[in-house]
Amino acid sequence: MTDHHAAVGPSFYHPTHYDSGWPLRTKLYLLAWRITAATLFRWLPSRWFGGRNAVLRLFGARIHPTAKVYPGCIIYSPARLELAERSTLGTAVHCLCVDDVRLDADVTVSQEAFLCTAGHDVDHPARPLTTAPIRLGRGSWVFARAIILPGVDLGEGAVAAAGAVVAKSVPPFAIVAGNPARVVRERRYRGVAP
């Protein structure tokens, strides 16, 4: 243990209070959304995409009529979510949109993937919230159980392989895999122009 670590007191590891700093209006919005998400949004029939989209729009989401949100999605704040035409959030995707999350046209986010726009400053005793937006470029694909971390821009046509942990932006048409995710090859279109 270095001298620096020895000087850290017990309150560094056990803060007595955490406050998001959000105004009451934001807290009430999130409470209303959580109640709606746990009831109406959750109970809508599996293939009733229009109904789920309407509920999300009611809470401020910007969703194209052709976008699809499958059942079981956990969406933190619809007001920070934007889905372009033919984009899809698969079953049980967790979208922690404390900051903006944008899916461009023809994006697919597969089952149980995690889009995470928030973290905490682990070097500060109060562990304040840190956020950065996520953008998934046109035609990109996030495979099942992949994790996209704050500030990531997944380029046009890029792919995050199943279980990948993507901590930095990905160039167009690259396929990334692993933890941390690394480029394994370029995506090649067979018989179809990109």
Residues that are catalytic = 120
Instruction: Count CB atoms within 10 A of the CB of residue 5.
Output: 8
Phi and psi (nearest 5°) for 33? -65, -40
Write out the H or E segment, with its range, that includes residue 116.
Answer: strand 114-116
d(CA 111, CA 142): 9
Under 8 Å between Cβ of 73 and 106: no
- DSSP, collapsed to helix, strand or coil, labels residue 24 as helix
